[in-house]
Amino acid sequence: MPQHEPTISVVLPNYNHGRYIKRAIHAFLAQDFPPDEILVVDDASTDDSMAILNKIALASPRVRVFKNEKNEGFIAAQRQALAAAKGSYIHLNAADDWILPGFFLLAVETLEACPQAGLFTGDSILVDGLSGRFLGVRPIVMPSFRTGYISPRCVQAMLAGSDNWILTGASLFRKDTLLAGAALDKDLGTFADGYLTRKIALTRGYCYAPRPVLCCSIFSTSASRSVALDPVRITALRNQAQQRIAADPAFPAWYAARLATRWRFAAARVALQERQISLPVVMSLGALNRLDRGIVAAILAISKGRLGRLGATAWLFLRFRPYRLLDVATTFLFRTLVRGTYYTGKQLSAEAPPSVRTD
């Protein structure tokens, strides 16, 4: 550890997540390197969130609770807490997710060894928010197979073949880099943090560790999923993101168009994962032409079960080519053969947050 003492501020917006907020906070407090403060902004919840938060705050002086009298939205709540944060490092997360043991110690040690890096990130385990069932791992393509620094030049080169390596909840930011890199912009909606993390990676580089640091809960009713399944809203957001990226010199000139293609594939994939597949939505989001519409319709006519969904997704993957197939396959093999227990969900029960630490 360095001579100075690194400090961590957690920024945690909450809206009607009383059922999950205790789990999230306990996971922070149980870290080997616990945060110095956890800034919770309750965004006018109508459930029992405030009663739960007040009880936790009484037990731990690290927890500070702010209550909004009217709902301001997730990004506004993040910015409100950021304005009050005192830590040299910042962690942004959602109230329904929880971090895994050892995250903050690994992140701080890695960043202190790489002062040029703007942030640290690791892998995220996706689980069904209601059942806890293991769903998968992100990023789909690992940027490296060992812990270390990835320079801006490498980031730009890698963007041609893959993307979306940084999930905000699996990251720890330097405060000065976070505030200087780009504001969390309400106009970018659910892509505000995606824009932010990409810009930091392209200007400062980042550190990555090929190990899980976050459990991310996936809900069918989440804001990001709702936007992804709405052709009008996702198209408007995609256009807004394209314009912002095209005007920002930090990004390669070709990247805006490439990102839009990846978004189209991702939105179609999400639509194909829905319990009730809406063929018009899939076609609107993912079909490039009449050939796509015909083949996807034929595949789903044969089977709308797992086989049909996989077949339609595979066809769209071949059409859009969002990532290099070899990179996806290599990541899958590494996780299966080298890190198997984490990446099949078998270790999740062992990683449940223990009792709250109040020191």
What's the pLDDT tens digit per position in 244-268?
Answer: 999 999 999 999 999 999 998 998 9
Burial of 289 (0-12, 13-18, 19+ CB in 10 A): exposed
Q: What percent of the chain has pLDDT over 70?
A: 92
Determine contact, residues 141/328, Cβ cutoff 8 Å: yes
Residue 354 confidence (pLDDT) above 80: no
At residue 232 the predicted structure's pLDDT band, cuts being 50, 70 and 90, is: confident
d(CA 296, CA 77): 41
Kindly write down the DSSP assignment for every residue of 118-183, as one continuous string: SEEEEEEEEEETTT--EEEEE-SS-S-SSSEEE-HHHHHHHTTT------GGGEEEEHHHHHHH--
d(CA 202, CA 129): 32
pLDDT at 204: 96
pLDDT at 281: 83
Most confident range, picked from 8-17, 73-82, 226-235 = 8-17
d(CA 14, CA 8): 19
Most confident range, picked from 2-16, 273-287, 315-329 = 315-329
Q: What is the pLDDT of residues 129-172, one digit of tens each?
A: 888 888 889 999 999 999 999 999 999 999 999 999 999 999 99
Query: Span 298-319, mean pLDDT?
Result: 92
Residue 98 confidence (pLDDT) above 70: yes
Q: Which residues of the chain does CATH 3.90.550.10 include? A: 8-219
- The CATH fold assigned to 8-219 is Spore Coat Polysaccharide Biosynthesis Protein SpsA; Chain A (3.90.550)
Q: Which amino acid is at 226?
A: S
Residue 357 confidence (pLDDT) above 80: no
d(CA 228, CA 234): 5
Q: What is the pLDDT of residues 277-300, one digit of tens each?
A: 888 888 888 878 889 889 999 999
Give the up-direction half-sphere exposure of residue 144: CA atoms within 13 A in the CB hemisphere.
16
pLDDT at 203: 95
d(CA 58, CA 79): 24
Residue 358 confidence (pLDDT) above 50: no
